[in-house]
Chains A and B, each alone.
Chain A
Amino acid sequence: MNAHLQPTGSAYFITKETQEIERHTLSVLVDNEPGILARVVGLFSARGYNIESLTVSETEHGRRLSRITVVVIATPKVLVQIKLQLERLVPVHRVHDLTAEGASLERELALIKVAGAGDHRAETLRLADAFRAQIVDASVESFVFEVTGKPAKIDSFIALMQPLGLVEVVRTGLAAISRGPESM
């Protein structure tokens, strides 16, 4: 009955966000131990950060280290927080904001299944060639292509395949590394 009455105040003060959001690629060096991915992902969900893409794999077997590449969308202020909050996790060694630090390489791999017959097949193959997509499986009525590159390149290849009989797509998510001789 009273639910329509707006309270005259709130328990919390909520600031309006004035900063623009940005997309950044973070590289996170972690101990490869059980639960590490849950820890990182749990941090993002608990603090309301947005993940665009996330890839993880062991990169140094001897030292049991994994590299997590995570693409986030956030305001500059939140980006700093994300980095600091990640660094606070016990098994996290280092976090680099590759986007902020300048020159870095970003690649993604996709497997793309296209089905069709006749003229469509010829057109499909011509475009695949232009995109340097490898045929990794073929049947009389389908192809599976492997394409590697920047996410934008994969996006456009997928868009072109759409009218030609696109069936399904899997993508690895982004792997990124800095240019030059240094390691992170």
Chain B
Amino acid sequence: MAEKMTGAEMVIQALTDQGVEHIFGYPGGAALPIYDALFQQEAVQHILVRHEQGATHMAEGYARSTGKPGVVLVTSGPGATNAVTGLTDALMDSIPLVCITAQVPTTLIGSDAFQECDTVGITRSCTKYNYLVKRVEDLPRIMHEAFRIATTGRPGPVVIDIPKDVQFALGEYYQPDHDTLRHQSYRPQVDGDAAAIEAAVDLMLRAERPIFYTGGGVINAGPEASEHLRELAELTGFPVTSTLMGLGAFPASHPQWMGMLGMHGTYEANLAMHDCDVMINIGARFDDRITGRVDAFSPNSRKIHVDIDPSSINKVVRVDVPIIGDCERVLAEMVRVWRSKTNQPRNEAIAPWWKEIEKWRAVNSLGYKNSDTVIKPQYAIERLYEATRKQGKDVFITTEVGQHQMWAAQHFHFDKPNHWMTSGGLGTMGYGLPAAVGVQVAHPDALVIDIAGEASVQMTMQELSTAVQYRLPIKIFILNNERMGMVRQWQDLLHGSRYAHSYSESLPDFVKLAEAYGGKGIRCENPAELDAAIAEMLDYDGPVLFDVIVEKDENCLPMIPSGKPHNEIILPDTANIGDIIDEKGRALV
């Protein structure tokens, strides 16, 4: 016999049945029945945020670091509109979210009622799917279907808009099985085509200048996918590079690791992408920050592309062997097929290729000129990395958006998947602090650090209050250059150094600000004192806002200017260019 309960109780019951332990939310008139139901139970813990955008990024951080869906609960109208940035962010980066938005009663929909907005209309293009629940009978089915859609195939955000009268209505709760889910049309393909995998392995077996180009899809496919990737890389002996979203899927400490590729990727990764003869793209989508000039992108390679989303195939770059499927399944198959054909890596055949790569590596494209009077941002991240390694704790890094984000990607190294959360596709300033809160909720004993910029961090600064309330000891490591550094860099590059509104004026005193929130504030501007200050931050059992005053006009290099091919990368002036780059290339430096 099905149980009778209210719509609001069904929401909680469905969350419990889905194994949800934490949700991030903010109440309001239309959501009160659900809040009332929350109040009367213990299974689901609610984290009260300070702004609904914060809730969505927390849920993203939670999801990315656990592999489980993140859940958000907001009220109608402004609650829903405030969630839009995070939903779009999750859509772009394929993060599974279920976002419950309250709505005015069905009888008032369309009447411009107080706090009414067309939530399904507004979120249609920034969700994987969305629902307006008009009858309580549909609610259990929709709740469970939402989780299925958010977490399977290419993951993404799903919105469930629930009018207040539906929350109050009584109905029978049930758990739908697969066949009673409404959308029989939704059937993501997870197993790659066997013939295509065979063809891919055959190409790999003949490769002389191969490269693995991996992305966020490997992370989304679960930790086993990362294990298979490592196995396949070692079986083949091929070099591995990754997008920003894929960092950690392949260990940065591995000798076959080339560093990140793309606009701020390493010289060796980008040149290897340009010059390779077989490119194996696993779960990446040929984003424009990766390809640069599309018509000059890796002109002489045969391309294999593994992606769970068929629409990613041939969208930007034409590929030779498309494989639609889940990265974990396809990688496992590739390993099996490779093994069935040989038990030798192609070390000998690709030795000249590695030699070339070593030459590019020797350029040391991530080099920078250090200083003993001012803290270089790269140095700050290096020291942070070193200090965290000695902590014996699981370390998670989130970032905001800007130069600091790219320096974090370059100079902090990840050996495990799910430990790096950053806003890649949408590039949302304000992502990192709330994402860190979400990660810390999921991993209370871990060390969670938001590597931030002084401009970005002010976009969602108020979530420090959430961290204090729930005793979440997140560390916010601000690389304070008193600039929107990335904007300033582009203005230097493209707009004749006319710095239109790219200064951070009237900055708050971050130390006092931290104290005002009930956290700890630290400031450091002397390179000699940095290590001690970092140690002080790590030792503090509570949230810390660490204001690292860094070099103001440092450029983030290397950089492939937009619209340029990979081999026109701009290198730092410390790079050992030698005879590798010609005069013309040097002029670009």
Contact = CB atoms under 8 A, between A and B. Distances in A.
B120 interface: yes
Interface string B97-124: 0000000000000000000000011001
A81 B315 contact: yes
A92 interface: yes
B124 A12 contact: no
Contacts of A92: 185
Contacts of B121: 38
A183 interface: no
Contacts of B311: 81, 84-85, 87-88
Interface stretch (A3-11, A53-61, A112-120, A160-168): A3-11
A131 B473 CA distance: 79
B569 interface: no
Contacts of B132: 34-35
A168 to B, nearest CB: 31
Contacts of B295: 15
Interface string B166-187: 0000000000000000111110
Contacts of B585: none
B453 to A, nearest CB: 19
B309 A38 contact: no
B258 to A, nearest CB: 23
B562 A11 contact: yes
A7 B495 contact: yes
A59 B477 CA distance: 59
Nearest to B184: A93
Interface in B482-497: 490, 493-496
Size bracket, chain B contacts: 35 or more
Interface string A8-44: 1111111100000000000000110111001100100
Size bracket, chain A contacts: 20 to 34
Interface string A64-88: 0000000000000100110011011
B261 to A, nearest CB: 16
B498 interface: yes
B124 A35 contact: yes
Contacts of B498: 2
Q: Which of B128, B185, B313, B498 has the most CB of A within 10 A?
A: B185
B124 A5 contact: no
Given A15-B294, A38-B121, A9 B494 contact: yes
A81 B311 CA distance: 6
Contacts of A33: 182
A42 B124 CA distance: 8
Given A5-B496, A84-B310, A12 B185 contact: no
B433 to A, nearest CB: 26
A46 interface: yes
Contacts of B128: 90
Contact of B562 (A5, A12, A87): A12
Interface in B453-504: 490, 493-496, 498
A151 interface: no
Interface string B371-410: 0000000000000000000000000000000000000000
B7 interface: no
B107 to A, nearest CB: 17
Contacts of A11: 490, 562
Given A12-B562, A81-B311, A88-B310, A42 B185 contact: no
A9 B493 contact: yes
B124 A31 contact: no
Contacts of B291: 13
Contacts of A9: 493-494, 561-564
B441 interface: no
Nearest to B187: A93
B562 A13 contact: yes
Interface of B: 120-121, 124-125, 128-129, 132, 149, 182-186, 288, 291-295, 309-311, 313-315, 490, 493-496, 498, 561-564
7 contacts: A8-B494, A13-B291, A42-B124, A84-B310, A90-B129, A90-B149, A92-B185
Q: Which 3 A-B pairs have the closest CB atoms?
A: A84-B311, A13-B563, A93-B185
